[in-house]
């Protein structure tokens, strides 16, 4: 069951400038979905479309199994969000900012102190939010998103501008909320390292195209298929013959020979044969297979 499903979602600012191209996003219910892509990839545009902040041009958006265009208000009643920078009334205190939302969502006034406690801002009193640090503003924005006990949380770069400690705090907070309340979360980021410890599912977008979506392990499996070794020698042609004589298929990549295996014995044997054949092996490099390199390879 998917909490969010888009079908052929497209968006363009002008005829020439396409921002999203046939995005088919599927966010499973209860998951923490990391929406990843470099700056300008189309993440924020997608999230703004999901929240109805941008008028949909082509395709369809379904949230909680309902069409967003026809059920916007009902869907928003169960959705909490934070898009880009925090949206706070600077001349008001944290409590007053939350009061505005409490009135809008008609939730219990006691929730205000509860969410302030959750995000660690109970001590701020009458201090105006304009005087808050960026980290405090981010946490208050998360509190606003959580205020009405939503079933879906859409957070656009929630750790932007936070120090490493703040990033860890927010990550732990989101994990806890997901575990305790089974809230589906969509969290966008341009840094995989920032969210890989948090998410259960991942979607990678670049230049308006959804390049991958699935579980983290599916992404790792995909990368393992591409794992291999790179050889750089003084005679790649001769080295290639040796590799092929051993039953492997290698390809030339710039000055390297790429061998699609990470088998230690095979690599050692090939190296020995090359040296014995008088080939000077300058470099043997294992192709990176951490998530960051998968991401970089995908968006390259």
Partner 1 sequence: MNFLYCFKAEWIKKRRSLAAWLVIIGGFFTPAIITCAAIYRSEATRKALLKPDFWNKHWLASWDTIAMFLLPMGVILATSLVTQVEFKNNTWKQLHTTPQSYTRLFLAKLAVILTMLLQFLVIFSVGTYLSGILPSLIISNASWPTGAIPYQKIFSDSVFFFVDCLPIVAIQFLLSLQFKNFLVPVGGGMALWITSMVSLSWKYSYLVPFSQGALFYLKTSGRISKDLPVHEVALLYFTVITGISYILYITKKEKG
Which residues sit at the interface with partner 1, rule CB under 8 A?
Answer: 48, 51-55, 73-74, 76-77, 79, 81, 83-85, 87-92, 96, 99-101, 103-106, 144
- Closer of 101 and 159 to partner 1 (Cβ): 101
Q: Say which residue the tokens 């991401």 belong to.
A: 295
Question: Distances in Å between the alpha carbon of 194 and those of 158, 162, 207, 215?
Answer: 10, 11, 21, 16
| Beta pairing partners, 28 | 2
- Least Cβ distance, residue 95 to partner 1 (angstroms): 10
What is the smallest separation between the CB atom of 17 and partner 1, expressed in angstroms?
14
- Backbone dihedral angles phi then psi of residue 194, each to the nearest 5 degrees: -75, -30
Spatial distance between the Cα atoms of 192 and 63, rounded to a whole number of angstroms: 25
- What residues form DSSP beta bridges with 31? none
In the complex, the smallest distance separating the C-beta of residue 133 from partner 1, rounded to whole angstroms, is 17
Of 55 and 300, the one with the shorter C-beta distance to partner 1 is 55
Work out how close the CB of 57 gets to partner 1 at its nearest, in angstroms, rounded to a whole number: 9
**Could you tell me the smallest distance in angstroms from the CB atom of residue 73 to partner 1?**
5
End-to-end CA distance of the chain: 32
Token pair for residue 61?
A: 């958006």
* Rounded least distance, CB 18 to partner 1, Å: 16
Nearer to partner 1, 20 or 202 (CB): 20
Residue corresponding to tokens 């009458």: 126
Nearer to partner 1, 141 or 206 (CB): 141
Measured from the CB atom, the residue of 11 and 33 that comes closer to partner 1 is 11
**Least distance in Å: CB of 141 to partner 1?**
8
Q: Which two tokens stand for residue 39?
A: 């700056």
Q: What 3-state DSSP class applies to 197?
A: coil
Beta strands 32-36 and 184-189: pairing type? parallel
Query: By C-beta, is 52 or 214 nearer to partner 1?
Result: 52
Q: Which is nearer to partner 1, 145 or 167 (CB)?
A: 145
Using DSSP's 3-state secondary structure scheme, residue 238 falls into helix
Task: Give the nearest distance from C-beta 112 to partner 1 in angstroms.
Answer: 12
Local structure of residue 288 (DSSP, 8 states): P
* H helix or E strand, kind and range, residue 103: helix 94-105
Q: What's the sign of the alpha-carbon dihedral 84, 88, 94, 95?
A: negative
As given in the structure block, the two tokens for residue 59 are 């395709």
Which lies closer to partner 1 via its Cβ, residue 63 or residue 274? 63
Q: What is the distance between the alpha carbons of residues 195 and 252, in angstroms, rounded to a whole number?
A: 34
């Amino acid at each position: 069951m998917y909490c969010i499903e888009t079908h052929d979602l497209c968006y363009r600012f002008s005829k020439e400038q396409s921002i999203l191209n046939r995005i088919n996003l599927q966010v499973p219910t209860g998951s923490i979905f990391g929406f990843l892509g470099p700056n300008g990839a189309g993440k924020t545009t997608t999230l703004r479309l999901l929240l109805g902040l941008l008028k949909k041009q082509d395709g369809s958006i379904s949230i909680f199994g309902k069409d967003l265009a026809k059920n916007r208000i009902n869907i928003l009643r169960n959705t909490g969000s934070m898009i880009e920078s925090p949206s706070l009334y600077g001349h008001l205190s944290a409590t007053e900012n939350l009061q505005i939302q409490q009135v809008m969502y008609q939730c219990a006034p006691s929730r205000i102190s509860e969410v302030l406690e959750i995000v660690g801002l109970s001590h701020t009193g009458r201090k105006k939010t304009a005087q808050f640090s960026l980290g405090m503003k981010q946490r208050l924005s998360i509190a606003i998103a959580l205020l009405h006990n939503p079933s879906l949380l859409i957070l656009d770069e929630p750790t932007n501008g936070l120090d490493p400690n703040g990033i860890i705090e927010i990550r732990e907070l989101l994990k806890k909320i997901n575990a305790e309340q089974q809230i589906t979360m969509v969290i966008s980021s341009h840094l995989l390292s920032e969210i890989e410890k948090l998410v259960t599912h991942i979607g990678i977008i670049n230049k308006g195209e959804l390049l991958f979506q699935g579980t983290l392990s599916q992404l790792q499996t995909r990368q393992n298929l591409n794992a291999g070794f790179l050889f750089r020698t003084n005679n790649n042609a001769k080295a290639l013959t040796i590799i092929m004589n051993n039953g492997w298929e290698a390809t030339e990549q710039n000055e390297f020979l790429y061998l699609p295996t990470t088998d230690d014995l095979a690599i050692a044997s090939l190296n020995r044969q090359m040296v014995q054949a008088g080939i000077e092996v300058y470099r043997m490099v294992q192709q990176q297979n951490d998530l960051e390199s998968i991401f970089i390879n995908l968006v390259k």
